[in-house]
Structure 1
């Protein structure tokens, strides 16, 4: 199994509860170097990393003679010290350490930190917990909670920072990694590879470095300690340097840009930390840390956010882009690769919300499927190596609600999409992944399971796709003419469509089927290549989601008009046999499947066709099931099974 997948798996499951951190750290050099090294050393890297923490006694802690106090506190608080070292930080080192948070640091804070790191080395402690400690939180999370917050007014006596001298925002004596992922990343910053290898070996073997830590702490305290964090003596030391009428803040700002005597550096730090701004007036950190409560057992891991844009899913309009986040590949208990995405369903969409009857005000299954489709395309790139320029080909696609379509309320409907690769298709059997057979769980963190989807899809280079299209068109009445990317085909004239009210729509452009030119009992597909949703971007073929919409409308038209408004589509299962072209007519044939031949459980029960078996309950059958075929050039291009149920279910 590739190391990057193992690292992603450990990140998601064991090392962080922040989806943003998962996305960022999989591209962070300091983290990756440390994580890769740990995985090379042990097969139990996820657990080892979770049980490790880093605690840094900063140069201000050394200046106040607090290094030994910190060591004794750590041992007294139930931590084990596996490694200890005096480390020196320059201006690049401290920016690496706080790279994802320092975007809000004021210019004055950065200058003070540069001055601080030059005072002395710092003491780094690598901590763990005893094997018999039954703790629910990782070691780094426990340590951060016991260390206490940065803000002085929030510290308590039981906190480490509560027992140390000093009370300013900057001079807080100690720093700890907030989560296991941060501890690994910080080891990547503090140590080169060889020294880091020694640390990992000590952690894995449970080495006791407490005596070494006490010795180093005592040496640092003796060599560099003895200073006070009291502001009054600091201002007295700086007073001779003050210009006439100069304010405290202007005095400190000026001195930070000048060369001053070594004996005045500590007074400047104490005075500046007390009067200068520590952060920018507005904005937030680029990467925040989750609260410790995020690690509480049973609490769901937050859905991924960011890491995707509309070009990844081949969308031109932001309004047609529904993926809000994408996560990396992980491995489930069955050994299958998995990725998660977050999608947000629009409450007012020109197509997916354009309904009357029972569907109005509820999530449209096809809207959900479009969000899932986009998530699969994005995940193919982030988790399986597809290129952004590749063309994605959907071969089968199905979905169902678990217990009927959710109703929209006043809030955006944010859903979690978990895609499991039941099978990976590879080039030449063992080459790069070129496609997936996927099962997809769709959940709401508050409401639970919403539905599920399934399907197969693959990706090819654009050149390979053009060759495929040429070969397919050569076998049809369209001839071997190039597809639309080179010389666009001429679409058929748009026939008059069925009245929008007949298919429970408000906008005439939402009707996509016509009776003109159709044989009795059949329909023809009405393809409007200028439609802003179905043809959000140029296509050389009829999009699959347009075919599914036509399948829905064909099924609805078979229902008695008196009953039609109370129906919703609760399940669809489609197989795309070949591409359908828009320069030749497409015939739609609809057949109602007798009850004895159809599934008895439209929500959550056993699936027919490509859908997986369900196990979350059954419902009394009140569904009508239809087989809808799309025929072009006397060949079935697409076949879909559509299940229509009462909207109140």
Structure 2
């Protein structure tokens, strides 16, 4: 994927970034005792941090430990209700942690997410009724640099629980300085703090939610097509003010759309692959489309795409292995 042009006028970047707001200077962990600072994973609250420690195991290899919490069935919008979103957050945090702590990514830079893939043993993880320790073995590859400074990485991960592999993941991203980011984003560079009135959501029960605040889709008159919505009160998806719709919102939208298009409220994907192509803005409608891509031997695959201003912004493919 080519690097976005930084020419004049409004520019589109083939990425969906996880924007990092100005944060305090990092605290470097030593050994295995300190908890990972929330600043390293771009979160506001300590109890949202899933990764707990890390250390280097090779020249470009690392071992990260994390906590797999029990799914949150408490206050709507305060935690994740699906394993897929929990896994996405854990993989996201692992990538950010290593980028900042080991590869010198400044906390004031914007982190631009390009690809985001993961697959997990759903039954094994759902069998855990209490917080469980996970180990992520990560192999890093430098994909971009500016002079002697690293500015892009690809990471592949092998995830284990009690010595047994329960998942894999891969993600590619880069980071850019604040000045470059402001030029790239133009009129959309500032974080959005006040939200306009939201359209009515899909009935929560249809997407395995308990309240409107958790639903990220609005129905339309076209089958297999919805309008993206995001409620800032959902702190699991909107931890802090951002200038664009976060990537986790698109992944949640893909999961909800897959449930709707398959008429399966508890559609449980074991694997997701996502390519982010453009920023998703708050000031234009983003249309979500979904269609089953393949079925067989009990497995269902759904392909979900997002379009905004006539251009594709992301594609996610979800696979449910069935029972």
Matched, 1:391 2:110: yes
Which one of 575, 583, 586 corresponds to residue 283 of structure 2? Answer: 583
Q: Deviation at 1:310?
A: 0.3
Q: Deviation at 1:305?
A: 4.7
Match of 2:30 in 1: 24
Are residues 406 and 453 of structure 1, via their aligned partners in 2, closer, same or farther at CA, if it must alter by over 3 Å?
same
- Report Cα offsets for 1:101-122 as digits up to 9, x if no partner: xxxxxxxxxxxxxxxxxxxxxx
CA distance in 1, matches of 2:121, 2:223: 36
Gapped runs of 5+ residues in structure 2?
1-27
CA distance in 1, matches of 2:204, 2:266: 16
Q: Deviation at 1:494?
A: 0.8
CA contact (8 A) 2:36 2:49 kept: no
Matches within 5 A, 1:15-414: 24=30, 304-306=32-34, 308-328=36-56, 330-331=58-59, 337-349=60-72, 350=74, 355=81, 364-402=83-121, 404-414=123-133
Q: Deviation at 1:566?
A: 5.2
Q: Deviation at 1:521?
A: 3.0
Matched, 1:541 2:247: no
Matched, 1:645 2:295: no
Matched, 1:523 2:226: yes
CA distance in 2, matches of 1:443, 1:632: 38
Q: Which has the larger helix fraction?
A: 1
Question: What is the SS of the residue equivalent to 1:493?
Answer: coil
Q: Deviation at 1:583?
A: 1.4
- Normalized against structure 1, the TM-score is what? 0.43
CA distance in 1, matches of 2:275, 2:92: 14
Question: What is the SS of the residue equivalent to 1:416?
Answer: strand
Q: Does 1 or 2 have the higher relative contact order (CA < 8 Å, sep 6+)?
A: 2
CA distance in 2, matches of 1:521, 1:24: 50
Question: What is the SS of the residue equivalent to 2:156?
Answer: strand
CA distance in 2, matches of 1:557, 1:353: 22
Match of 1:110 in 2: none
CA distance in 1, matches of 2:34, 2:222: 49
Matched, 1:569 2:292: no
Q: Deviation at 1:633?
A: 0.1
CA contact (8 A) 2:259 2:266 kept: no
CA contact (8 A) 2:79 2:235 kept: no
Match of 1:434 in 2: 151
Question: What is the SS of the residue equivalent to 1:327?
Answer: strand
Question: What is the SS of the residue equivalent to 2:34?
Answer: coil
CA contact (8 A) 1:354 1:507 kept: no
Gapped runs of 5+ residues in structure 1?
1-21, 26-303, 332-336, 471-480, 601-620
- Report Cα offsets for 1:351-389 as digits up to 9, x if no partner: 59765xxx6xxxx02201211111110111121111122
Question: What is the SS of the residue equivalent to 1:436?
Answer: strand
CA contact (8 A) 1:339 1:418 kept: yes
Which one of 189, 208, 211 corresponds to residue 483 of structure 1? Answer: 189
Are residues 327 and 381 of structure 1, via their aligned partners in 2, closer, same or farther at CA, if it must alter by over 3 Å?
same
CA distance in 2, matches of 1:352, 1:396: 26
CA distance in 2, matches of 1:463, 1:404: 46
CA contact (8 A) 1:626 1:641 kept: yes
Q: Which has the larger strand fraction?
A: 2
CA RMSD, Structure 1 to Structure 2 (Å) = 2.4
Aligned pairs, number: 293
CA contact (8 A) 1:491 1:529 kept: yes
Which one of 206, 213, 221 corresponds to residue 502 of structure 1? Answer: 206
Match of 1:630 in 2: 306
